[in-house]
Amino acid sequence: MSPQLSAVIPVYNEQEGLPLLFERLYPALDALGRSYEVVFVDDGSTDGSVAQLRRQFERRPDVTRVVLLARNAGQHLAILAAFAQTRGAYVITLDADLQNPPEEIARIVAAMDAGADYVGTIRRSRRDVLWRKAASRLMNRLREGTTSIRITDQGCMLRGYHRSVVDAVNHCTEVSTYVPALAYTFARHPVEIEVAHAERMLGQSKYSLYRLVRLNFDLMTGFSTAPLQFFSLAGTVIAVISLLLVAYLAIRRLIVGPEAEGLFTLFGIAFFLIGVALIGLGVVGEYVGRIYEQVRQRPRYTVAAVLEEPRPAAERLAEDRAVSDRPALVAGARVQGAPE
Ligand code: UDP
Ligand code: MG
């Protein structure tokens, strides 16, 4: 009854590109010769995307489901909303803008057939603007240094996750997260393959510099406390050096007498220390802000509607029974803001 594959696609104001996506995605999936479902999740689009998704659902209702979110939740929460609806044994995510060629899904499936439960991808020649590539390289390196997550190309969203990994992700309740990294923490046999990457042909990137910075802070704070440790360490070193400086100046005061020179040097040192303190405060603030969001326990996203074919009652019953077999986990998920 469950399909073999679920393709998950977040859509946010992608009306220009959707027709072409439908045109390429379905043949690519049909060609695999496996049962599949496509789960689109509309992330609060304000253009004609929802109408197009509805039409596509009417065209292929047997293999299409559409999750409509009430408002924009961000790409990663949108994907989590879709994950909650998937039934496939393999779950494959890709972007709606055709930067991830749907024809590459076959290679992810092959890697999963070979035993991988997490298929990461590396964009063979990434087609994005220069500053995006440079920023990604920097963030990749920073993340490698601070977390235990080993992903070569964290930005590529064409990825495959086994049902066991998706189930584990579905039991997480974190508000600000990064799906590939979160899933990685549950993977037992992660692999990486190279895939093609295309330029965004229609529509615009939904990530401004600010949103990218936020996303990378989510990644850093969500998977490591290294930034905090770095500041407690750096703070200790700086405090020791400052103490030595104070002792030195005190001794000079006793031996040489009062001195006015070197005032600006002291200013320089003071400004440096204030700067370090402010950055440290900011880092603490990033964590505190996320803890604050988390403890409020508001729903992470709101599902306005799910377009899907009515399922036979027997199938629904079987699913309900499967769910109530795990009462503890389900109760936890409900309380923590699962949107149902
Ligand atoms: N997206 C989304 N919600 C958002 C931002 C983006 O669902 O708030 C979707 C978007 O429609 C696309 C994917 O996430 O399918 C990747 O976005 P985009 O192509 O703009 O990112 P980029 O390729 O520039 O990193
Ligand atoms: Mg894109």
Give the span between the Cα atoms of 292 and 157, in whole angstroms.
28
The alpha carbon of 74 and the centre of ligand 1 are apart by a number of angstroms equal to 8
Q: 174 to each of 143, 164, 327, how far by Cα in Å?
A: 19, 18, 20
Q: Is 110 exposed, middle or buried (0-12, 13-18, 19+ CB in 10 A)?
A: middle
Answer whether 42 contacts ligand 1 (Cβ < 6 A).
Answer: no
Residue nearest to atom 13 of ligand 1 (CA): 95
Give the span between the Cα atoms of 1 and 309, in whole angstroms.
13
Answer whether 96 contacts ligand 1 (Cβ < 6 A).
Answer: yes
Identify the pLDDT of residue 320.
61
Identify the pLDDT of residue 326.
44
Answer whether 97 contacts ligand 1 (Cβ < 6 A).
Answer: yes
Q: Which residues contact 152 (CB under 8 A, 6 or more apart)?
A: 120, 122, 140, 192
Please answer whether residues 32 and 109 qualify as being in contact, where contact means their C-beta atoms are separated by less than 8 angstroms.
yes
Answer whether 202 contacts ligand 1 (Cβ < 6 A).
Answer: no
Q: Looking at this protein, which amino acid is placed at residue 90?
A: Y
pLDDT along the chain (340 residues), means of 10: 94 96 97 97 96 97 96 96 97 96 96 96 88 87 87 92 97 94 96 94 89 90 92 92 92 89 85 92 94 94 94 70 46 39
Between β-strands 118-123 and 159-162, what pairing exists: parallel, antiparallel or unpaired? antiparallel
Residue nearest to atom 24 of ligand 1 (CA): 205
Answer whether 158 contacts ligand 1 (Cβ < 6 A).
Answer: no
Give the tens place of pLDDT for each residue, 147-196: 888 899 988 999 999 999 999 999 999 999 999 999 999 999 999 999 99
Answer whether 203 contacts ligand 1 (Cβ < 6 A).
Answer: no
Residue nearest to atom 17 of ligand 1 (CA): 206
Identify the pLDDT of residue 163.
97
Q: pTM for the full model?
A: 0.87
- Estimate to the nearest angstrom the gap between the alpha carbon of 244 and the chain centroid: 45
Answer whether 192 contacts ligand 1 (Cβ < 6 A).
Answer: no
The alpha carbon of 108 and the centre of ligand 1 are apart by a number of angstroms equal to 21
Beta bridge partners of 303: 69
Answer whether 74 contacts ligand 1 (Cβ < 6 A).
Answer: yes
Mutation choice for ligand 1 from 45, 76, 95, CB with most ligand atoms inside 8 A: 95
Q: Is 308 exposed, middle or buried (0-12, 13-18, 19+ CB in 10 A)?
A: middle
Identify the pLDDT of residue 142.
86
The alpha carbon of 206 and the centre of ligand 1 are apart by a number of angstroms equal to 5
Question: In the numeric block, which tokens belong to residue 14?
Answer: 């992608």
Answer whether 231 contacts ligand 1 (Cβ < 6 A).
Answer: no
Answer whether 236 contacts ligand 1 (Cβ < 6 A).
Answer: no
Answer whether 153 contacts ligand 1 (Cβ < 6 A).
Answer: no
The alpha carbon of 23 and the centre of ligand 1 are apart by a number of angstroms equal to 19
Identify the pLDDT of residue 145.
86
| Residues with a beta carbon under 5 angstroms from ion ligand 2 | 95, 97, 99, 200
Question: In the numeric block, which tokens belong to residue 238?
Answer: 């700086």
Question: In the numeric block, which tokens belong to residue 154?
Answer: 């964290």
